[in-house]
A and B are shown apart, each in its own frame.
Chain A
Amino acid sequence: MILFAAAALPLHSAGKYVAGAYIVFVVMLLVYLTIMSIRTSRTERELAELREELALRRRQVSEPESQTEPEREAVGSK
């Protein structure tokens, strides 16, 4: 709305200074948010890697157990 209405604002010689002050703030905010989003996505990626690693370990633990079950049954039947 502000962008559409900007044409109606008295943007004469002072306009560039006012625009500059507000744009500097917006740019700084955007730079900060970009850096933070990069860091957050890195954390998410590492969390996903950790989940995969855990799932792999769980599978490795459960596989030997399932392999030993028939052997136990065989021992029981004797």
Chain B
Amino acid sequence: MHLLLLGVSHKTAPVDVRERLDFSSRDLGAAVEALATRASSAESVVLSTCNRSEVYVASDNPARARDEIIEFLSQYHSLSPDSFTPHLFSLSDEDAAKHLFRVAAGLDSLVVGEPQILGQVKGAFETAAGRRCTGPMLSKLFHWSFGVGKRVRTETALGEGAVSISFAAVALARKIFGRLDGRRVLVIGAGEISSLTAEHLRAQGVGEIAIASRTAAHAEALAASVGGRAAPWEEVPSLLATADIVVTATGSQRPILSRAHVEATTARHRPDPLFIIDLAVPRDVEASVGDIEQVFLYNVDDLQSIVQENLSRRSREIAHAETIVAEELLKFATWQRSRGAVPTVVALRQRFEAIRRAELQRLDNKLVGLPPEARARVDEVTRLIVEKLLLDPTEQLKALPDEETQVAYTEAVNRLFRLRTGESSSSSTDAAADRADADRQK
């Protein structure tokens, strides 16, 4: 059984090609099912996000599976194969596994370390598993990749630090106020960047979001979209006095908040500092406002430099994350190789079992005089002897360090015991081996 991966990602294909091959807008489950009906793909999972569309299959005949996947993509998306095959990348076996591990770890993402991808990988697998399109191979591979993603997240700082201006502002707010529940927010100026920041703040559970704009209609539109309240421009001074977080993003050419404005509101008792986020260019808040003791003032450049620093810190963590991927890949490869020994193990067990049964059969007329309990005991004891004899050889065969040794050992076992194993490990013998494994562990 071989792993095969075909796909496009932001690294191989321009956005218009990715859009045309996107599955996420359509029924992903139906797509996986459609793919699974193809003859050569025993197991399949489709991973589709805005940066990638990838098809993972386990197949005995990877060359044919490859053609079938291209045919499937072309039919499903109604595209001619020529329009996307130049952008398609194709990986098999360990390379495919490595790619999935890197994707799950966030190493292949546009923004390295972004956290959503692991959830998307899980979702893709669950959709396929829900439609019974997965089997032992992909199931193991994907679960392994979840583990890799989790390890990278807990053992490295790859996903740490905000990498967008609005997230950086929210992260700062959390370091000042702790939980943001019930904090009062004043947004001055209703532009795109202020709406993004307001949405992130809303997601953190802030209390009232008051939005003031010189154009009342803009304020109302933004208030409606983030669940805030549009406030008249005249209310700004009084809102300033009660706000914990102020976001400014007006198009004004001159500062709209002077030091005197802000001092008038901070002179009163404030249980916590005032956090002003000036997202406007040119700036809306006089620089000297930042000198007031209880005020933290951050402008776009400040936030941008935080973002830059976080990005460079993430890139320093890449090597660490790649090491984890390499370690896990090694373990996964060992597991996969152990699957190669399965046909021999199954044949060996079948042979021993056949001998046992034949001998019991031969002794049947001598045993017939025994009471039923004693006969059952004989059966049990012979079975246990066979189990014990097979225990070590089975484990040794499954733990061989590399492919070459494995071929040599299985060959030797086949000859020593006159086994006739199938040429390839069909899924039915796999299942038999799994059952045998389960029996042995009991």
A joins B in a complex = no
Task: List chain B positions with a Cβ less than 8 A from chain A.
Answer: none
Task: List chain A positions with a Cβ less than 8 A from chain B.
Answer: none
